[in-house]
Copies of this chain bind each other. A is one copy, B any other.
Amino acid sequence: VQLKRSLDLSLYLVTDRKLAGPRNLLEVVQKAIKGGVTVVQLREKDLSAREFYELGIRTKELLPPDVPLLIDDRLDLALAIGTDGLHLGQRDLPVEIARKLLGPPAIIGLSVENLSQLQAAKQLPVDYLAISPVFSTPTKTDTGPAWGLDGLRTARELTCLPLVAIGGIDENNAASVIQAGADGVAVVSAICAAPDPEEAARRLKNIILEARKKL
C-alpha cells in the first residue's frame, strides 16, 4: 500500500449519536466540518445495519470531497455506502482480508493498543494507525491501558505510518499530542458533546496547526 499523501489526519471526528444528545448527528457533523474537521469516522455500535446504512448515505451527502468518510468495523457498510474507507480495531476483520475486499485505493486504519500490536501493524496493508487510547477516556472502555505521551513518542519512533491519537483529547492536551509526534488528533466528545461543535472544531484545529508550527 502506497502512502496516501492526500490523507489529512489533522482533526479526525469519530461520531457518537448518544453524545450528540437531542441534536441531530448530521447537524453536528456539518458544523464540525465547517469548523475544520478533516476526516469523519462513523462509529455507531448500537444501530442496526439498515439504520447505519441510512445514516451513512446521508452523512456522505453532506461531506465535501476533501473530507473522507470512514466506517468503523463494518466493511459491508463501507461497501454499501460507498465510503472512502474503513477503520478497524484488533477485534474486527483482519486487515489483509479487508484490504483484499476493498482494494488498494481504500483508506484502511487500524487501532493499536500496545507496542506489540504496533510492531505487528508494520507488516499490514494499512494507511494509518490510531494510537488508542492516548489518554484514558470514558467514551470507550474496551481498550487497554493508555499510551500516554511517552508511549506516543515511542510509537512515533518505531513506525513511519501516519499516526492519529485518540482517547481523552481536548483543547488542553491536543498541542502536547501533536508535539509528541501524532499527525492528527481524533476526538469524540470534544466535538460531539460540545455546545457549539463548529466552534469546538475550529479551536481544536487552530491548536493543532499552531502546535505543528513549533515542531
Contact = CB atoms under 8 A, between A and B. Distances in A.
Interface of A: 48-51, 53, 73-77, 79-80, 90-94, 97-98, 101
Contacts of A49: 73-74, 91-93
A93 B78 CA distance: 12
A77 B74 CA distance: 9
A97 B53 contact: yes
Given A48-B92, A50-B93, 8 more contacts: A48-B91, A49-B73, A49-B93, A50-B94, A53-B94, A74-B74, A74-B76, A80-B98
A76 B80 CA distance: 10
A98 to B, nearest CB: 8
A77 B49 CA distance: 13
Contacts of A73: 49
Q: Please list the 6 inter-chain residue pairs (A to B) with the smallest Cβ-Cβ separation, ordered nearest first.
A: A75-B76, A48-B91, A76-B76, A49-B92, A80-B97, A50-B91
